[in-house]
């Protein structure tokens, strides 16, 4: 079974600023309501320790391997249970600059495995968490730009 969750938001900030916020793992807990702890490095092959909190309660900590870390463009990792075929999640953040100086930020996850059909309510909460994080990232990146302009 395969299930994809994908959320998007437009951000009025340069890709470099969004990437910097996304990969400054130490400061992530101060602004991110969904990913409340992230340890490791944004480098291909690196191991991450991730803590997420679900809207309405509940959370989990897991380890993941970075599959892609292209500055100002994409961060992608894979987490899976030790038993092959049971459950895995490939999480991705994509930054797509637009001609008008804004960008489209996409956050998604591709879930695979035998347990996926049993996780309906968890996946709905996860999608809400993605949306909350996207809005917080937008606010952070746009506020940084406003303060840089002296507002």
Instruction: Give a yes or no: residue 88 inside a domain.
Output: yes
Q: Extract the tokens encoding 110.
A: 């591709």
Contact 22, 137 (CB under 8 A): yes
Q: What is the pLDDT of residue 30?
A: 96
Contact 148, 23 (CB under 8 A): no
Instruction: Give a yes or no: residue 57 inside a domain.
Output: no
Q: 118 Cβ partners below 8 Å, 6+ apart? A: none
Instruction: Give a yes or no: residue 34 inside a domain.
Output: no
Place of tokens 């480098």: 43
Instruction: Give a yes or no: residue 144 inside a domain.
Output: yes
For the domain that residue 110 is a member of, what is the CATH number?
3.30.530.20
CA atoms within 13 A on the CB side of 28: 21
User: Into how many domains does the chain fold?
Assistant: 1
Q: What is the pTM of this model?
A: 0.93
Q: What is the pLDDT of residue 56?
A: 84
Query: Which residues of the chain fall short of a pLDDT of 50?
Result: none
User: Which residue range forms the structural domain that includes residue 82?
Assistant: 2-24+68-148
Instruction: Give a yes or no: residue 43 inside a domain.
Output: no
Instruction: Give a yes or no: residue 44 inside a domain.
Output: no
């Amino acid at each position: 079974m395969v299930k994809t969750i994908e959320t998007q938001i437009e951000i009025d900030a340069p890709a470099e600023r969004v990437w910097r916020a996304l990969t400054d793992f130490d400061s992530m807990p101060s602004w991110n309501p969904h990913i409340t702890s992230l340890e490791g490095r944004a480098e291909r092959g690196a191991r991450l320790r991730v803590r997420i909190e679900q809207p309405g309660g509940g959370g989990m900590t897991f380890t993941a391997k970075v599959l892609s870390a292209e500055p100002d463009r994409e961060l992608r990792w894979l987490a899976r249970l030790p038993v092959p075929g049971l459950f895995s999640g490939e999480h991705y953040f994509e930054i797509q600059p637009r001609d008008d100086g804004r960008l489209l930020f996409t956050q998604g996850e591709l879930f695979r495995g035998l347990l996926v059909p049993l996780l309906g309510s968890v996946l709905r909460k996860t999608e809400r968490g993605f949306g909350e994080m996207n809005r917080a990232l937008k606010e952070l990146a746009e506020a940084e730009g406003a303060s840089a302009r002296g507002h």
